[in-house]
Structure 1
Amino acid sequence: MGTSGPLVVLVGPPGAGKTTVGEALAARLGVSHRDTDADIVAAAGREISDIFVEDGEPAFRELEHAAVVRALEEHDGVLALGGGSLTHPGTVERLAGRPVVFLDVGVQAAVKRVGLDAPRPLLLGNPRQRWRQLMEERRPVYTAVARVVVLTDDRAPEDIADEIANELELEEA
């Protein structure tokens, strides 16, 4: 079986560093970086928070799943998935056997990175409490699909990228 699809798929909660680490890892490996959240914004022509508010979460999750399917078929570099993309069972199935890395992060580091005023539709109300609740729900899924789990708290993106490359035995292109 030939290798097709991304070299690495990054999953994790908001604030884990998927985009920043993804860019650092792509640069280290000499490949391109793709982010499904950016794909959705580009395709829809509006922000994710607007899609959530105007169309609802289920409609957004379908757009997200379609974006993930497309990216898994088309992209051969580093792919970062949206924090909630694994809430779609079809996405979880499609990640089976792939080089998935769960970027884990504690609530303090996540809050520092995300900022409590960022327009994140799922963190409305009490962001810290909501973030913890989302992590409790999603952690088992993140862990189940991941080949490697990397804690990102208080670490430079380049260090995390090095660890991922070493764990997955990836060489520069």
Structure 2
Amino acid sequence: MEYGLLGEKLGHSFSPQIHSQLAGYSYELVEKTPQEVEVFLKEREFQGLNVTIPYKKKVFDCCDQVSELARRIGSINTIANRGGWLYGDNTDYYGFRYMIHRLGVSVAEKKAVVLGNGGVAPAVRAALEDEGAGEIVTVSRRGENNYNNISRHYDAKILVNTTPLGMYPGNGEAAVDLGPFKQCEAVYDLIYNPLKTKLLLSAEKLGIPCMDGLSMLVAQAKKSCEIFQQISLPEEKVEEITGCLRRKVSNVCLIGMPGCGKTTVGERLAARLGKKFVDIDREIVKRMGKEIPEIFRESGETGFRKMESEVLSEVTKQTGQVVATGGGVVVTPKNCELVRQNGEVIFLKRDLRELTVAGRPVSQSRPLEQIYEERIDAYRSWSDFQVENRTVEKTVREIESLLV
């Protein structure tokens, strides 16, 4: 084989796609048990490898030469086969430094808290040191600094999550509550699925600059490619590939009043973007085997909203979709994080006089103007963009132009 990613359980990975855009070589996912790793490396039937958990430390002794950086960090995530001898390095360090520079918040002389002490944490600490950070504290479950006494570090200005908490399929979890970190100036979460973890959504809500781990993934891959090929690639490649990946995996969630055209616009938009279309109301009907008015009659609005949130949670964990929500999705506050976790939210607006109420229990229960006034603040605050729906084609083109 040429190049690949070595790990125990890899599942879905963006790495083959990233490396194909970097240099076009063959890149495979290589799953090996702990017993198979040493034999595989000794055979040396590859040109280069990236290494992920749980083997970043295990491969150390299998390399003939190790970079000073990798030795300092104590783990390896990149191995190049150079004429039969193995060279080991660590590119997580470069990836995280790229994140720091990309966000644009200086870490110099500032207290930083690193959540987690796993495979990537040493590289993060080394990068923070070289960027001139002040006190660097590692918080783990059983260390001297742990989640039971984290209050002693609420004065941190930089927060970095290296734990898997909040990663798919555990969306909605977070290692810490960001609220008490009153002096926090930047939040980095190395997770990239979902694109916005609960931690990042909290940072956004509090107005704290933050960044997900997608650009780090691409930046460390670029450095790995340079080590594999012994070449230099332009820095612009990182943003180019990151943008391409983000556009591919991002969801577009449509919110707005009942009858404003979310389904019609959503279906057309999905076709244009090459994404799957999902209508939340249709999914509820499919699951319950009943139409919406019947569900309302039997379970009331409270029962319907509970089902709506459950279906929405399942759907929005997935990526690469256009999702049309029900008009009342904003009635349930926790749904905000669900629609925002994997992409953009579009508030689709339409003149109230053009909205139909047939088959819509809530719309028939009281004047549309009253419903609109109850929901307008949420529609506006939940959305990234607001688009007037006058004609379907024009609306679809406008949404396309707004997306990242």
Common fold by TM > 0.5: yes
Higher Cα Rg, which structure:
2
Query: Matched residues in 1 for 2:305 and 2:395: separation?
Result: 28
Task: Indicate yes or no: 2:380 matched with 1:134.
Answer: no
Query: Matched residues in 1 for 2:269 and 2:291: separation?
Result: 26
- Structure 2: gaps spanning 5 or more residues: 1-190, 195-248
Query: Matched residues in 2 for 1:161 and 1:47: separation?
Result: 28
Aligned to 2:392: 157
Query: Matched residues in 2 for 1:30 and 1:62: separation?
Result: 31
Q: TM-score, normalised by structure 2?
A: 0.38
- Counterpart amino acid of residue 192 in structure 2: G
Task: Name the one with the larger strand percent.
Answer: 2
Aligned to 2:321: 77
CA contact (8 A) 1:11 1:142 kept: yes
Deviation at 1:74, TM superposition (A): 2.4
Q: TM-score, normalised by structure 1?
A: 0.85
Query: Matched residues in 1 for 2:328 and 2:192: separation?
Result: 29
Deviation at 1:144, TM superposition (A): 0.2
Runs of 4 or more, structure 1, over 4 Å off, are 3-6
Deviation at 1:156, TM superposition (A): 1.9
CA contact (8 A) 2:258 2:363 kept: no
CA contact (8 A) 1:104 1:151 kept: yes
Query: Matched residues in 1 for 2:379 and 2:332: separation?
Result: 12
Aligned to 1:109: 354
Aligned to 1:10: 254
Deviation at 1:6, TM superposition (A): 4.7
Task: Indicate yes or no: 2:383 matched with 1:146.
Answer: yes
User: Aligned match of 1:120 in 341, 345, 360?
Assistant: 360
Aligned to 2:330: 86
User: Aligned match of 2:345 in 94, 100, 106?
Assistant: 100
Query: Matched residues in 2 for 1:29 and 1:96: separation?
Result: 19
Q: Provide the identity percentage.
A: 36
- Structure 1: gaps spanning 5 or more residues: none
CA contact (8 A) 1:6 1:72 kept: no
Which protein has greater RCO, CA pairs closer than 8 Å, 6+ apart? 1
Tell me the secondary structure at the aligned position of residue 46 of structure 1. coil
Tell me the secondary structure at the aligned position of residue 124 of structure 1. helix
Query: Paired residues, what number?
Result: 159
- Counterpart amino acid of residue 48 in structure 1: I
Deviation at 1:119, TM superposition (A): 1.7
